[in-house]
Amino acid sequence: MKQYLKIDEWSIIEESFDPHNHEISESIFSIGNGHMGGRANFEEQYSGRSLQGSYMAGVYYPDKTRVGWWKNGYPEYFAKVLNSTNWIGINIEIDGTPLDLATCTVSDFRRVLNMKEGTLSRSFVARLEDGKEVKVESIRIVSMVRREIGAIRYAVTALNFSGNVTVTPYLDGDVKNKDSNYDEKFWNEVEKGETADGGFLTLKTKKLDFHVTSAFAYDLTLNGEKLTPEAASELRDKYVSSTVQVSLNQGDQLVIYKYAANVTSRNHGLGQLVEAAQTALASAREAGFAALLSEHAEAWRDKWKESDIIIEGDVSAQQAIRFNIFQLNQTYTGEDDRLNIGPKGFTGEKYGGSTYWDTEAYCVPFYLSTADPSISRNLLIYRYKHLEKAKENARKLGFTKGALYPMVTMNGEECHNEWEITFEEIHRNGAIAHAIFNYVNYTGDKSYLGQYGLEVLVEISRFWEQRVHYVAHKDKYVMLGVTGPNEYENNVNNNWYTNRMAAWTMEYTLETLNYLKENEASRYEELVDKLGLEESETSLWADMIAKMYYPADEERGIFLQQDGFLDKEIVPVKDLAPENLPLNQKWSWDRILRSCYIKQADVLQGLYFLGDRYDLDTKKRNFDFYEPITVHESSLSPCIHAILACELGYREKAYEMYLRTSRLDLDNYNNDTEDGCHTTSMAGTWMSIVHGFGGLRVHDGRLVLQPSNPGHWTSYSFKIVFRGSRLKISVTDREVIVANETDVPAQLKVYGEELTVGGLSSVTVQQTVSA
């Protein structure tokens, strides 16, 4: 854990420059707009430790798999989000000496991520080796309005000297991925060119032929007056720059406005890329930096109107939740159903920027409640479109029918390559099925089932059907050799969560079939025909549902994470000396696997997903058993614990888990933020407030709230969209106010009481949980 950032309601603030924190800050201060984004690398050159990262959504590279020992069934490649052209670069030299924060003395350093308006700014005074001092103030945006545009205002003031400043804005495509398997670079140059005050560069990936064109232009002012000095271009392999020299008197301020357009072949024809980039660039430049900034800030204000959470009386918690919401909103904006949400968003390379079960289990609930339903629908359709590939994947592993969705994917193909996860962490299929339920249950859009949902459900059920087998001596169906969500145990038998989600999927599939038979008879016939669905299959599923084996310990009244769990020595985490943690950095893998320690919610994940099937006592017994042995070394863990702790009335635990999930990156809890932020788990943070403290559930199409106050806050409020209405729920120690911000009346239950909240009106209910 590392706390060096200032606490502020709307901003993340770093004061004073410590190179040891730089890579962490590069992750935390990342900015993006759904189409592109990047780490908070410096504009000017920096020779210290840094992870350069500029990413274009959906542009990836199939890097040839590298494993110690090849196993049949491994995929050929691991898809990697690509570090692409560095478009932010502006090198500065003062009388021939480069401005480089690693070699000069830095004072008054301040880096600010303004989350309200979506800007990254920085200011500092640098004293060069020869004693010359400059003040630098920069501000950067990745426009939320013009998705292909980024812009920078970079001001240099000569503090104690008169001399020449050389400015070199550039595009550099000669970049690499730190995680490249064979230390290869992934880009080839296609074309480049210089323009009067800028240039362009088109690169293409060495495989798959993704093309990215970047174009830049710049304007200069000296003490507010426009300046047009002579520029010299430099064109070399995958690099274009333009250099100008300006002579400054002491006290003069030179401002560089750099505009950049980044367009890809995902959205434009190959022959149109340069023109598309130049057109977007010209219009941005013509609008000017101030106008770009103001329209961008306005777009962020609109986003906050839909998704802000306000916490009164706890600035640290307030900052944290906004940071999580900010990162989510800048990572995925939902218009493009070919895109998904990588666990690190645009903040780093780890996890390849690909799609994991994180999307269905964590992100879908966030987008369901904070955005138009079409956005979560797009996330579901993404998987629908990958159904054929998921079927191929199952065949590849030897299943004769059904679909196994990949653990990690870009285009539907599996690209994860550790057998215990790729082949065994099959519970992901359950989360994908559950997201369909979640979407339909939340939105009421049952048409999704006939259009897309059923096909996915049937193919997943077919997979489960083959993955379990009947054992006569138990008269049960068992599932051997799996890895549950807790990746700190592999190849276990009868992971309760996986067995439960398998049976649940089959149940929901049968329910969906019945629904369609009764309500959309002709579509039902069509689908049964298309899927070749046999009565023998559905009756087998019914048998499997009835006879699924669930390991349990009757004495303790708990479900067992797997058959052999109680053979482990159970020692709570609190009894471990702190130097053992995090286990994944301190212990051998062998020791971890044999230990009782749980990486992330496993049985508890199931009790959260299927919460309405289990009573509070069952949840309590399981929580009390599993929580003390959970190390939360997956970012996806604390939020589920926070939600269940709220439900169980464990206020302190809920708050502890809330801080842990929400400040995971800000306080570097797991000592890994330098790799990038834990973007998908940020949706879990949102869930811990709305599903946790707010107690939001949807039962039989009815919105249900059970708000409690964690005790550390004067009040909090959150917004949700639900079936055409947008509600603001405010909770204090005394009351809950449900304000309807739309003219669509809303019906809900608060503390079990039925309420109708008319359009543009509000209803107040006494707070009964934490009073």
**How many amino acids of this chain bind ligand BGC (CB under 6 A)?**
12
Minimum distance, C-beta of residue 421 to ligand BGC, in the bound complex (Å): 8
Minimum distance, C-beta of residue 11 to ligand BGC, in the bound complex (Å): 27
Q: According to the binding rule CB under 6 A, does residue 356 interact with ligand BGC?
A: yes
- What are the CA-CA distances from residue 743 to residues 514, 746, 761 (Å)? 35, 9, 9
Q: According to the binding rule CB under 6 A, does residue 53 interact with ligand BGC?
A: no
Rounded distance, CA 462 to CA 365, Å? 26
| Cβ-based nearer residue to ligand BGC, 636 or 689 | 636
The two structure tokens encoding residue 593 = 């696997």
Buried b (16+ CB within 10 A) or exposed e, 76-110: ebbbbbbbbbbbbbbbbbbeebbbbbeebebeebe
Minimum distance, C-beta of residue 694 to ligand BGC, in the bound complex (Å): 24
- Is residue 450 within 8 Å of residue 516, measured between CB atoms? yes
Minimum distance, C-beta of residue 486 to ligand BGC, in the bound complex (Å): 8
Q: According to the binding rule CB under 6 A, does residue 438 interact with ligand BGC?
A: no
| Cβ-based nearer residue to ligand BGC, 85 or 634 | 634
- Is residue 53 within 8 Å of residue 349, measured between CB atoms? yes
Torsional class of 118: left (φ above 0), alpha (ψ -120 to 50), beta (otherwise): left
> Would you say 466 is a known binding-site residue?
no
The two structure tokens encoding residue 569 = 């020595």
Minimum distance, C-beta of residue 569 to ligand BGC, in the bound complex (Å): 23
Of the candidates 747, 755, 705, the residue with the CA atom closest to the CA atom of residue 724 = 747
Q: According to the binding rule CB under 6 A, does residue 584 interact with ligand BGC?
A: no
| Cβ-based nearer residue to ligand BGC, 133 or 489 | 489
Torsion angles phi and psi, residue 381, rounded to 5:
-65, -35
Candidates 30-38, 184-192, 352-360, 442-450; binding stretch for ligand BGC (CB under 6 A): 352-360
Candidates 222-230, 351-359, 541-549, 699-707; binding stretch for ligand BGC (CB under 6 A): 351-359
> Would you say 543 is a known binding-site residue?
no
In 503-622, the DSSP E strands lie at: 552-553, 558-559
Q: Which sign does the torsion angle of CA 274, 275, 276, 277 carry?
A: positive
96 three-class SS: coil
- Is residue 147 within 8 Å of residue 34, measured between CB atoms? yes
Minimum distance, C-beta of residue 356 to ligand BGC, in the bound complex (Å): 4
Query: Can you give the three-state secondary structure of 261-309, one letter per residue?
Result: EEEECCCCCHHHHHHHHHHHHHHHHHHCHHHHHHHHHHHHHHHHHHHCE
| Cβ-based nearer residue to ligand BGC, 356 or 655 | 356
Q: According to the binding rule CB under 6 A, does residue 353 interact with ligand BGC?
A: no
Minimum distance, C-beta of residue 755 to ligand BGC, in the bound complex (Å): 37
Q: According to the binding rule CB under 6 A, does residue 489 interact with ligand BGC?
A: no
The two structure tokens encoding residue 289 = 């930096």
Minimum distance, C-beta of residue 347 to ligand BGC, in the bound complex (Å): 13
Is 388 among the residues known to form the active site? no
> Would you say 357 is a known binding-site residue?
yes
| Cβ-based nearer residue to ligand BGC, 344 or 467 | 344
Q: According to the binding rule CB under 6 A, does residue 435 interact with ligand BGC?
A: no
With a CB cutoff of 8 Å and minimum separation 6, the contacts of 275 are none
The two structure tokens encoding residue 394 = 């199952």
Which of 37, 75, 343, 638 touches ligand BGC by CB under 6 A?
Answer: 343
| Cβ-based nearer residue to ligand BGC, 382 or 655 | 382
Which of 487, 602, 665, 674 touches ligand BGC by CB under 6 A?
Answer: 487
Q: Which sign does the torsion angle of CA 616, 622, 628, 632 carry?
A: negative
Sole residue written with tokens 């051997």: 480
Which of 257, 351, 477, 713 touches ligand BGC by CB under 6 A?
Answer: 351
Exposed, middle or buried: residue 575 (CB in 10 Å: 0-12, 13-18, 19+)?
Answer: exposed
Candidates 182-190, 356-364, 465-473, 619-627; binding stretch for ligand BGC (CB under 6 A): 356-364
Rounded distance, CA 568 to CA 486, Å? 15
| Cβ-based nearer residue to ligand BGC, 124 or 362 | 362
Which of 485, 551, 684, 694 touches ligand BGC by CB under 6 A?
Answer: 485
Q: According to the binding rule CB under 6 A, does residue 358 interact with ligand BGC?
A: yes
Query: Which parts of 669-698 interact with ligand BGC (CB under 6 A)?
Result: 680
Residue 141's CB is within 10 A of a number of other CB atoms, namely 26
| Cβ-based nearer residue to ligand BGC, 386 or 476 | 386
Q: According to the binding rule CB under 6 A, does residue 406 interact with ligand BGC?
A: no
> Would you say 187 is a known binding-site residue?
no
Catalytic residue among 23, 117, 414, 487: 487
| Cβ-based nearer residue to ligand BGC, 193 or 582 | 582
Which of 318, 417, 600, 730 touches ligand BGC by CB under 6 A?
Answer: 600
**Any bridge partners for residue 60, and if so which?**
81
Q: According to the binding rule CB under 6 A, does residue 409 interact with ligand BGC?
A: no
Residue nearest to ligand BGC (CB): 343
Please tell me the total number of residues recorded for the chain in this structure: 771
Minimum distance, C-beta of residue 599 to ligand BGC, in the bound complex (Å): 6
Minimum distance, C-beta of residue 535 to ligand BGC, in the bound complex (Å): 36
- What are the CA-CA distances from residue 71 to residues 66, 490, 590, 703, 766 (Å)? 11, 16, 20, 48, 60
Rounded distance, CA 411 to CA 385, Å? 9
Helix (H) or strand (E) holding 622, with range, is helix 616-626
Q: According to the binding rule CB under 6 A, does residue 597 interact with ligand BGC?
A: no
| Cβ-based nearer residue to ligand BGC, 391 or 427 | 427
Minimum distance, C-beta of residue 385 to ligand BGC, in the bound complex (Å): 21
Rounded distance, CA 762 to CA 748, Å? 12
Rounded distance, CA 41 to CA 520, Å? 54
Query: Which parts of 609-648 interact with ligand BGC (CB under 6 A)?
Result: 634, 636
Rounded distance, CA 158 to CA 294, Å? 28
With a CB cutoff of 8 Å and minimum separation 6, the contacts of 676 are 27, 30, 39, 53, 344, 345, 347, 348, 349, 350
Rounded distance, CA 297 to CA 299, Å? 5
Query: Which parts of 738-767 interact with ligand BGC (CB under 6 A)?
Result: none
With a CB cutoff of 8 Å and minimum separation 6, the contacts of 536 are none
| Cβ-based nearer residue to ligand BGC, 342 or 373 | 342
Residues making up the binding site: 357-358, 599-600
Could you give the residue numbers annotated as active site?
487
The residues binding ligand BGC (CB under 6 A) are: 343, 351, 356-358, 485, 487, 599-600, 634, 636, 680
Residues making up the binding site for substrate: 357-358, 599-600
